[in-house]
Amino acid sequence: MKLALGTVQFGVDYGISNQKGQTSLEEVKQILRYANKHHLELLDTAAAYGESELVLGNCGLEHFKIVSKLPPVPKSATFSEIEEFAENTLEQSLKNLNAEKVYGYLLHSANDIMLFPTLYDWLESKKEQGIIKKIGVSVYNPIQAQNIIDKFDIDLIQIPLNLLDQRFISSGVLNKLKKKGIEVHVRSVFLQGLLLMEERPVYFKNISHLFDKLESVATEYNIHKAAITLNFVAQLQQVDRVIVGVNELAHLKQLITLFDTPLPDYPWHVFSCNDEHFINPSLWQI
């Protein structure tokens, strides 16, 4: 199934629309059982997601493919310490996950591969050892992705893409990634839940017309907003996995129900916003 499960909520209190905080262990187990039953086979996690890997490791992951991430290299690290940092972090992640290997391992800070090319060599060595099946990076924008694929042969990339943030489509980089045979995982399809909120922080008032338009389209075609935002990304041929995070089992049930909802022939590009202050959560001032 193209749908994949993000797990940041399992380890930290995350998301602008999250009213319940970190998901409980029992709820996580229910979510994973339901995910497995409905053929969601990939889990996305990271060492930086608080207790997420540890929580997952207590749930039994034999039915899932795991993608994890190496945190940004500490600024204090010397060149000689970088590989040791990577080695220790991966070892701890595998221990927390109760796993001997992972499907994918990404650099959480894509800039690290440009600053420290030896990290790529280290990833390659782990791939050769069979500990990592696919190596890659998590990026924030098309320019970053283009610079990396020009220099390195990666197998997997994670990108942000949603109705508001269509930069990877308009720039042509999404097509370039697929032409290179790189597996594309998309995060932020709901923009941390912002696209589904009924009431939003005043910070977003300058793009309120886009949210109003989404409401109007959903009403006109009688389609749930979540179905529109989810399937806008999922139905792109260049996308291999759509990563969604849930706080409770009911959320996952709803998303599975809405997945593959046919969308109308509509000029979805009209929702595109190129102002990073609104589409990049790290820049939000709320």
Domains in the chain, start-ordered, CATH in brackets?
A: 3-283 (3.20.20.100)
CA atoms within 13 A on the CB side of 13: 3
Q: Would you state the pLDDT for residue 15?
A: 44
Closest CA to 3 of 35, 45, 29, 46: 35
Q: How far apart are the first and last CA of the chain?
A: 35
Q: What's the rounded Cα separation, in Å, for the pair 71 and 88?
A: 11
Q: Crossing angle of helices 208-221/225-234, nearest 10°?
A: 100
Q: Give pTM, 2 decimals.
A: 0.94
As given in the structure block, the two tokens for residue 62 are: 């034999």
Closest CA to 227 of 256, 199, 186: 256
pLDDT tens-place values along the chain, 286 residues long:
999 999 999 988 544 443 456 889 999 999 999 999 999 999 999 999 999 999 999 999 999 999 999 999 998 888 889 999 999 999 999 999 999 999 999 999 999 999 999 999 999 999 999 999 999 999 999 999 999 999 999 999 999 999 999 999 999 999 999 999 999 999 999 999 999 999 999 999 999 999 999 999 999 999 999 999 999 999 999 999 999 999 899 999 999 999 999 999 999 999 999 999 999 999 999 8
Q: What's the rounded Cα separation, in Å, for the pair 36 and 57?
A: 15
Q: Would you state the pLDDT for residue 11?
A: 85
Phi, psi of 64 (to 5 degrees): -120, 150
Q: What's the rounded Cα separation, in Å, for the pair 138 and 282?
A: 14
As given in the structure block, the two tokens for residue 231 are: 């399937």
Q: Would you state the pLDDT for residue 80?
A: 83
Report the residue count for the chain.
Answer: 286
